[in-house]
Amino acid sequence: MLSYQHIYHAGNFADVHKHAILLDVIGYLQKKNSPITFYDTHGGRGWYQFDSPEAQKTREFEAGILTLQKTSASLPDPVAHYLDKVEQITESDPNCYPGSPLLIADAMREQDYFHTSDAHPGEIKHLEQLLYGLPHISVHQRDGYEMLRGLFPPKTPRAVVIIDPAYEEKPEYQWVAKAVRQTLKIWQKAVILIWYPLLPANNHMRMIDQLRRDGIDHILRNEIVLRPPEGDRGMYGSGMLVVNPPYQLAKDGAQWTTALAKALNPKATSTHQYYSSDPV
């Protein structure tokens, strides 16, 4: 299905959660000089305007990035770094929000490479225009999982993969688990970030259980719950899995993601679990 457009949800609490962890992982990995190849399987358009009719229809950004920008709370360094990056990128137009492709492109060093894709014909045009001419960046109009299979492994010694589908179709959770399994079969040490929605049906648990049945080790599971689940539909929280997470994120992430949750909503909660046969 190609109906999903992230403009309706850009800058919401899930984006804040996802992108704060993404930038934290990148920061840890870039402490070493060796090059990294980034892969973003569902890039979207990469740049979102809050005054667009789509964003105005839902106004989800108000409970996300705008709430965080207005907070008077003292924010932990990873959250403050994320917020600074967003404000730097949108300095010329504060009424906008950068998606993960633009956040990654901004964080890249001269030695890094980046592949991003989207299958939606409208979204990919925006993404191509946004990243046109930037060195070491390739934009692909193709299925993100197929891109990953076709372009993996990278020529660089390290790789970071972000998988962020819309989960419009129930099999998507199984597709994600399969993509992770195939990627790790090629490159066991790849760092893989997976975003998923917390919905009343709890289909994300099937994905997590499948990854663990596949014997995938070193999985960090971090979730923010903004409100109790109500009824049969509606996203009540945001989840992130990080396979092969940096040590410091696995060790210290619980504290700063809890602070992030509280900054978004004083009633919000955060959970932080590390699945591994080895102690952190």
- pLDDT attached to residue 3: 60
From first CA to last CA, the distance across the chain in angstroms is 40
3-state secondary structure the chain: CCCCCHHHCCCCHHHHHHHHHHHHHHHHHCCCCCCEEEEECCCCCCEEECCCHHHHHHCHHHHCHHHHHHCCCCCCHHHHHHHHHHHHHCCCCCCEEECHHHHHHHHCCCCCEEEEECCCHHHHHHHHHHHCCCCCEEEECCCHHHHHHHHCCCCCCEEEEEECCCCCCCCHHHHHHHHHHHHHHHCCCCEEEEEEEECCCCCHHHHHHHHHHCCCCCEEEEEEECCCCCCCCCCCEEEEEEECCCHHHHHHHHHHHHHHHHHHCCCCEEEEEEECCCCC
Pairing mode, if any, of strands 137-140 and 113-117?
parallel
Mean pLDDT for the chain overall = 94
What is the reported pTM?
Answer: 0.96
Q: Which residues are catalytic?
A: 164
Give tens-digit pLDDT for 185-232. 999 999 999 999 999 999 999 999 999 999 999 999 999 999 888 877
Give tens-digit pLDDT for 58-78. 999 999 999 999 997 899 999
Give tens-digit pLDDT for 98-108. 999 999 999 99
pLDDT of 277 higher than 80: no
Partnered with residue 44 across adjacent β-strands are none
128-133: long-range contacts, CB 8 A cutoff, minimum separation 24: 130/45, 130/46, 130/47, 130/101, 130/102, 131/46, 131/101, 131/102, 131/105
pLDDT of 2 higher than 60: no
pLDDT band at 279 (very low <50, low <70, confident <90, very high): low
Radius of gyration of the chain (CA): 17
Give tens-digit pLDDT for 120-162. 998 999 999 999 999 999 999 999 999 999 999 999 999 999 9
pLDDT band at 255 (very low <50, low <70, confident <90, very high): very high
- pLDDT attached to residue 73: 80
- pLDDT attached to residue 194: 98
Give tens-digit pLDDT for 83-96. 999 999 999 999 99
Q: Which domains does the chain have, with CATH numbers?
A: 6-275 (3.40.50.150)
